[in-house]
Structure formats: structure tokens, C-alpha cells
Amino acid sequence: MFRIQPAQTPSLLEALITVISIIIIISTSIIHFETTPHMALMFSIILLVIYGTVKRVPHQKLQEGLSEGAKSGMGAVFIFFLIGMLIASWIYSGTIPTLIYGGFELVTPYFYLSIVFIVTAIIGICVGSSLTTVGTVGVAFIGVSSALDLSLAMTAGAIVSGAFFGDKMSPLSDTTNMASGILEVDLFDHIKNMMWTTIPVFLITFILFALLSPDISSVNFGEMEVYQQGLLDTGLISWYNAAVPLAVLLVFSMLRAPALLSLTAGIVSALLLSTLHTSPSLTGIFNILFGGFVSETGVAEIDELLTRGGMESMFFTIGIVLLALGMGGLLFKLGIVPRLFASVERTLKDVKSVIIGSALNAIGINILIGEQYLSILLTTETFQKQYEKVGLENKNLSRVAEDAGTVINPLVPWSVCGVFIASVLGVPTLSYLPFAFFCLLSPIMTILFGVTGKTLTYIRNDAERDGGIKQVPQSDLS
């Protein structure tokens, strides 16, 4: 958004007061009044328009700020629509139900917490939604732990860790697509680059849960059997239902095809598979792709898990994206963000300070505002120019935004995710926080890699594009 030229240069005090006012509006609206982020963002936009009017900024300039800010998210909007269609088609074809069923097959009485972590991670990747994973499968695991008199806080920590691993690494996740889309980074390049920090944290988390797992010699997995039988009753469980669409997506990703093309191929392959067990009409397919798949198994838990997807399901997320980016455009047009950034810019001189600064910014927005999307949007837009100045590619910033933004939200008691998870699982946020190892370790790992310079990708100069690829020494950038 630094391409948006400010219409004025406010004083530092004015900029601080305005930002603090917005934080108060958003925090109060979401935490105290429990309204949707849309209303909080709309109130903040109105405040900025009033401020701009008082400062005699032409209304045409204010409208330009709104539209220019929202314009930067249009690429992600089209990706979101395709994700909704992909989720619906993958459920309709049996791809997601089969993957979920396979995840449950991994459950054994041994290393219980590690298995909870693994299964929720698998389902999180398949579904692409952390809150859906927590609200369905997570509830089932909490029921098992409660029946066995196991620690609910540890179980909830394993559930949250797995669900947000899936949310962070799934190509179906809105946050994953948002982080890559805003910075114009290829979706699969973004996911591949996140593996450098995510896989070590995943392994450490798995080991920690293995060490903490209680010794269970016998256990009643009745809750799990309900899920498994319900999935079998759908008639959608088959190995090829999972293998074919996944193979198609994998092939296109290996060919480095654009996300739009890869997602479209995944949708088409799933719809072709669906003809093996149903006789779909074009009208029915169009309704599913737009409105989502509706499960009618009669098992409430299964129906809740599988009733989702479609273009329509993305409207909520797209609304937040456009409002947040519109608000961001106003903050830049009114010179508020540039003024605040100028006051700290002199401290962001090298790779280390830029990595640490962007990570702390993402964490701070989560803590102060409690909104996951804003932590990604504002961090990527604010620090993009600084990453360029120190020679870092955009995919480094998209990784930091997820490592320190996406996974921190469930650890904040007043955040959207924190409130939802505590309510659904019946475990207070501060109780499961010490055991949400994946969420706690992710920002630490990304800062550590930033400080050491490990796995960072630098922008190639003209000479390097003509010849070999050579990383820019960190000493030359400071």
C-alpha cells in the first residue's frame, strides 16, 4: 500500500491518537459487544472518513484510498471463490470424507496426545479451516479425554496445535491464500517456503506430546466409532476418491502451475470422480459449487463436518478482506501509517531487524485487536517495502506473517479464535495456552531463522539472472 500517495502528513501525535482510537473501536466491538469484525472495520472506516473530512482532505481522495486499498486484495478474492468451490467438490466426490476417515484409523491408545495432534493436523489440512476442525473432531477428542479423565487442557493444546498446523499449511486455507495472494507469491511456493520453519516446529511439538501422553492400556473410542460409521454410511469412502484429486493437485503443483489453474484442475477431477457414485445434474452441481455441499447422514457431528464449502461460504472472509484493505488504504491515504512507520523506520536497517519487526507487528495486532486477518493484512502491506530494501523476496514476509500471525490468534483470550475455541471445547484459553506448542514455537522459529539468516531467499539482481543464482550476503545488506 505504500504505492498509495498520502494526501497529508499528520503529526505523530495525531497518528497515534487515530490508531489507538481504531484499536479501541475494534477491540471493544469484537470483545465486549461480540460483533463480527465487519462492523468493527466499518465503524473504523467511518471514523477515518470523519477525520479526513475534518482535516479537509477531498472526499475524492478518501474514496481513492478505499478503492486502491481494496484493489490490492482482488487477486485473493478470486482464489477464495475457487477454494470454496474446491472444498464443496472434494466433499461431494468423497475426497475429504475419505481423508478424514483415514485420519481416524491412525488413532490408538498409545501416544494419545501425539495422535490427537497428528489427526487434527491431517483433518485441518484436508478441511482448510482450523475452527471447523476444532468444532467437530476437536469436540470428539475432548469427549474421549473427559471419559478417560485425561487432562482437557493438554488435549485442547494438541487439538489447537494440529488444527492450526492444518490451517497454516493447507492450500484450502483462507489465511494461507491471503498471505500469498496479497504479496503476489505463488500459493505452493509460499507453502513450500513455510516448511523450513513449520516442519521443525511440527516435529518438536510431536515429541513433546509423545512425552506428555498418558499410558492408556484400554480405552473406549465410542465417539470415534460414531464418526467412522457415519462417514462409511455416506458411501463416499474409497481410496481412489482421495488419491486421484490429491495426485492431480500434486502434479500441477510440481509443474508450478498458477494457483488458479491448480485449483480448477482439482475441482474438475473431483467432479469427474463424483459421477462414479452419483448421477449429478448440472443444476445440482452448480448449486453445490455455489452454496456448498449439504450432508444429510442423520449423524449431527458428520453433517456439521461435511456441510460446507461453495462460493457463498467465502463471502464472510472476502468481506473482511475488502473492508480491512479498504481501511488500510485510508490509513495510508491519510498519511497515518507512513507517519508511524517513518518514526521507527530508522531502526529497520538490516535483515534481522526487519524480520523481528514484522513478526512482532503480527503478534502485536493479534494481541491488541484480536483479529487474525488484520494481523496478516497489515503486516504484509506495511513491511513489504522494507523487505525489498534489504533484498528479501516477498515469500519471506508471507512466511513470517503466518508464523507470527495465523497461529497466534487462538492464544489470545479475547480474539475471535480464542473465544470460539474456549466456548466450543469448554477449556479456557489460558488453560490450553501452555500446551499449544505449535502455536507458541512458530514465531520463535521464524525469528530464529531470521536472525541467523537461515532459509531466507534474496532478490536476484540482473547479473545473477543472467548467470547463476547467488544469495546476497547479509553483511552487504546492513
- Could you tell me how far CA 51 lies from the centroid of its own chain? 32
| pLDDT score recorded for residue 207 | 96
Closest among 224, 6, 213 to 104, alpha carbons compared: 224
The CA-CA-CA angle for residues 186, 465, 475, to 5°, reads 90
Amino acid making up residue 152: L
For the CA atoms of 424, 428, 434, 439, the dihedral, rounded to the nearest 10 degrees, stands at 40
Q: Which residues pair with 458 in a beta bridge?
A: 392
Tens of pLDDT, residue by residue, the chain (478 residues): 456 788 888 999 999 999 899 888 887 887 778 787 888 889 999 999 999 999 999 999 999 999 888 887 777 788 888 888 988 898 898 888 887 787 777 667 778 899 999 989 988 888 777 887 887 788 778 867 776 778 899 999 999 999 999 989 988 888 898 899 889 898 889 999 999 999 999 999 999 999 998 876 555 566 667 777 888 887 888 888 888 888 887 788 667 677 788 889 989 999 999 888 777 788 889 999 999 999 887 777 778 778 888 899 888 878 877 888 888 889 889 998 888 877 777 778 889 999 999 999 899 888 866 778 878 988 888 888 889 988 999 999 999 999 999 999 999 887 778 878 887 888 988 899 999 999 999 999 999 999 998 888 888 754 443 444 444 444 343 3
CA distance to 11, 184, 315, 318, 432, per residue, from 311 (Å): 43, 22, 7, 10, 34
pTM: 0.72
Which grid cell sits at 193?
517456503
| pLDDT score recorded for residue 467 | 42
Which grid cell sits at 340?
508511524
DSSP 8-state symbol, 57: -
> How far is the C-alpha of 369 from the C-alpha of 371, rounded, in Å?
6
> How far is the C-alpha of 353 from the C-alpha of 478, rounded, in Å?
10
| pLDDT score recorded for residue 160 | 96
Report domain extents, the chain: 1-343
- Could you tell me how far CA 151 lies from the centroid of its own chain? 28
Cα radius of gyration (the chain): 23
Burial class (CB in 10 A: 0-12, 13-18, 19+), 217: exposed
DSSP 3-state of 218: coil
Closest among 295, 325, 293 to 311, alpha carbons compared: 293
| pLDDT score recorded for residue 469 | 40
| pLDDT score recorded for residue 127 | 75
CA distance to 14, 246, 342, 433, per residue, from 337 (Å): 11, 42, 8, 32
Instruction: Judge contact between 280 and 293, C-beta under 8 A.
Output: no
E strand or H helix at 76: helix 74-93
Which grid cell sits at 384?
513489504
Instruction: Judge contact between 185 and 394, C-beta under 8 A.
Output: yes
Which grid cell sits at 383?
513491511
CA contacts within 13 A on the Cβ side of 356: 12
Q: Which residues are within 8 A (CB) of 436 and not within 5 positions of it... i.e. 6 or more apart?
A: 157, 160, 161, 164, 410, 411
Closest among 91, 86, 161, 162 to 123, alpha carbons compared: 162
| pLDDT score recorded for residue 184 | 87
Instruction: Judge contact between 312 and 290, C-beta under 8 A.
Output: yes
* 213 φ, ψ (degrees, to nearest 5): -65, 135
Closest among 56, 42, 27 to 334, alpha carbons compared: 56
> How far is the C-alpha of 166 from the C-alpha of 172, rounded, in Å?
9
Which grid cell sits at 213?
501422553
Amino acid making up residue 77: V
> How far is the C-alpha of 310 from the C-alpha of 321, rounded, in Å?
18
Amino acid making up residue 208: L
Q: What's the length of the chain?
A: 478
E strand or H helix at 344: helix 336-345
